[in-house]
Chain A
Amino acid sequence: MDDSVRSEAGIPLKASYGPDDLPAPESIPPPGAFPYTRGNFADGYRGRLWTIRQYSGFGTPEESNARYRYLLQQGGTGLSVALDLPTQCGYDSDHPDVVEEVGRVGVALDTLADAEILFDQIPLDTISTSFTINGTAAIILAFYVAAAEKQGVDRAKLRGTIQNDILKEYVSRGTWIWPPRPSLRLIADTIEFCAEGVPRFNAISVAGAHFRDAGANAVQEMAFTLMDGITYCDEVIARGRMTIDQFAPQVSFFFYTHGDFFEEIAKYRAGRRRWAHIVRERYGAKDDRSCMFRVGCVAGGASLHAPQARNNIMRVAYEALASVLGGVQSMFTAAWDEPFALPSEDSTTLAMRTQQVLASETGVARVADPLGGSYYVEALTDEVEGRVIEIMDDLERRGGMVKAVEDAYLHGLIADEAYRFQQATNSGERQIVGVNRFQTDEEMPEVEGYELDEVGRARQLERLAEVKSSRSAADVAATLGALEKGAAQDDVNLMPLLVDCAKAYCTLGEMVEVLKREWGEFVQPTVF
């Protein structure tokens, strides 16, 4: 066979596929049946369309609140909160090292007071909210629960997701704080806390997206992510307090959809099948809902390019179509100007309209898994799954994901793939319109970006100072003291203690510092 034609992840492709390439019928049962290769639901998107969830948030809580209310008025069906880097890395806005970054890539949440403003007039009992937050996920969840209860909303009604996936942060995204072991404990605490008292909230969204954006290919992205999922489930199971069926329905996943159309579709189908088998066979799940692979995705990221930037509009549209044909549950479509700047209201709206056109006009959501049974798609699904299993076996043999993070094995795999990809682009083997094909001398467009205004930053700092001077010092000392004590013991769930801290208006930075004293900080390996 001529194997010079390959998918983006390097899978050799035949010129055409036929009946001999189809798997046995029992491995592709109808949609809604285990192992869910063809989707989680028998009626596909008829019962529930995917959630259109645009990542948004910047500047101050006031500005973000206004943007959320605008997006909801325009037909958005869920919120996705972007937090600024100090909040993600555990620093308050008044920390001297972070003044440049306050409110820059997202909103700052220093205390419960900020969360109260952020969600003002947004009905938290009906809207679902997704937070891209990892290092400080447990603290942000505590703010959210406390803010909802101040609105009079029962925590049992809250819907949404915290990303809460620290392992990939050590490798690619970088908002780590503590070392892996205590971080895993805190994640298991949030999973238990949600399973017990916030049952409609997803305590973790295991994210391959950032491996992908750091350079991993689609197959690696899926394999690394499933391995992370296993690591978190192992941690909860090892405590012996919960069975897989008590928490697995609250574990969700998150990926990038990039440009290789059929490989992306195959990736989602293969991932669903693999996870279903893992949950049933490794953990003995009895409830089929535990075995469902719930997926959110982003169309965009590193698949977008700066030259001829408006081409990104089409890239995102194709990626969105692949995501829907792959059966995702929620989607963020990136704005075309993302390679330059935080998206403007205009480009964000256009990105959302891309999904709305797909949902309302193309008819692709009418029938579940329309590509099921396609010789090519089924064969590619099998091939992707086989390669995912190989990578997972290799990682297991090497001692699992925590070890692969600690000894930087994962960092190396991703850096190698990123470099291979870059070289293929440089040599023209990989063609990108506007980058190495059909280039023009077009000047890079000067885009409208968001500049954090000094007034907004000053208001954030003023509010923080105001909160610090008006709260009860005794309550702060008592709740932080209880947190420190709890952190020193392995069998205490820290989430209720964090909610107490939030309600006492302790700052995020104060909670992080208490835990750093107990647990220390992560030191990053630097492999390139």
Chain B
Amino acid sequence: MPVRVLVAKPGLDGHDRGAKLVARALRDAGFEVIYTGIRQRPEVIAAVAMQEDVQIVGLSILSGAHVGLTEKTAKALRAAGADDVLLVVGGTIPKRDVARLEAAGATAVYPTGTPLEALVESFQGLSSDARAPS
């Protein structure tokens, strides 16, 4: 069964070229991809993640509000009982914020300039880790 991924854009930032490219590249790589569209509230993203039974939620944020929105989404996922869903974040992210995002609950961070193949490989690694028996 293909791994299910939710690509999501929290907050008000409408730049979704990156999110759509990632969605399509992941689909081409065999993932089953759902895209939320822009301007989604963290609670809605968490609800969709549960409904669609995804393994990975990828947030795309270019407005600079990545730390707060990642924290909110992580919290919403926990509140929805989606503790086993991996959260990753991409976008206009300065290096100094990578640790803050990890602390906020991100398993992986993909700043601007991350090659698509590198991102796809990283998703493949994450999903096989997630499937390994613990």
Contact = CB atoms under 8 A, between A and B. Distances in A.
Contact of B39 (A174, A214, A446, A447): A174
Interface string B1-38: 00000010001111111011101110100000101111
Contact of B17 (A97, A98, A213): A213
A320 interface: no
A415 B37 CA distance: 13
Given A175-B14, A213-B17, 18 more contacts: A85-B13, A85-B63, A86-B12, A89-B12, A99-B68, A100-B11, A105-B13, A172-B17, A174-B14, A174-B16, A306-B113, A339-B113, A341-B94, A419-B24, A446-B95, A526-B37, A528-B24, A528-B33
A213 B37 contact: no
Contacts of A418: 17, 20-21
A350 interface: no
B95 A85 contact: no
B117 interface: yes
Nearest to B28: A419
B66 to A, nearest CB: 9
Interface in A48-93: 85-86, 88-89, 91
Contact of B116 (A214, A426, A524): A426
Interface in A436-464: 444, 446-447, 449-450
Given A339-B92, A444-B113, A446-B94, A528 B23 contact: yes
B109 to A, nearest CB: 13
A375 interface: no
10 contacts: A85-B63, A98-B12, A100-B69, A104-B64, A104-B65, A213-B17, A215-B17, A341-B92, A415-B20, A418-B17
Contacts of B69: 100
Interface of B: 7, 11-17, 19-21, 23-25, 27, 33, 35-39, 41, 63-65, 68-69, 72, 92, 94-96, 111-113, 115-117
B113 A85 contact: no
A379 interface: no
A88 B12 contact: yes
Q: Which 10 A-B pairs have the closest CB atoms?
A: A174-B14, A306-B113, A85-B12, A526-B37, A528-B20, A100-B68, A100-B65, A528-B23, A174-B38, A306-B112
A525 B37 CA distance: 7
Interface string A408-423: 0000000100110010
Nearest to A523: B37
Interface of A: 85-86, 88-89, 91, 97-101, 104-105, 169, 172-175, 213-215, 302, 305-307, 339-342, 415, 418-419, 422, 426, 444, 446-447, 449-450, 524-526, 528
In this complex, which of A85, A302, A450 has the most chain B Cβ atoms within 10 angstroms of its Cβ? A85
A174 B15 contact: yes
B21 to A, nearest CB: 6
Nearest to A305: B113
A175 B113 CA distance: 25
Contacts of B15: 173-174, 213-214
A307 B113 contact: yes
Nearest to A306: B113
A169 B15 CA distance: 10
B35 to A, nearest CB: 5
B117 A524 contact: no
Nearest to A102: B65
Contacts of B20: 415, 418, 528
Nearest to A446: B95
Contacts of B64: 104-105, 341-342, 449-450
A172 B16 CA distance: 7
A113 to B, nearest CB: 22
B82 to A, nearest CB: 21
Nearest to B92: A340
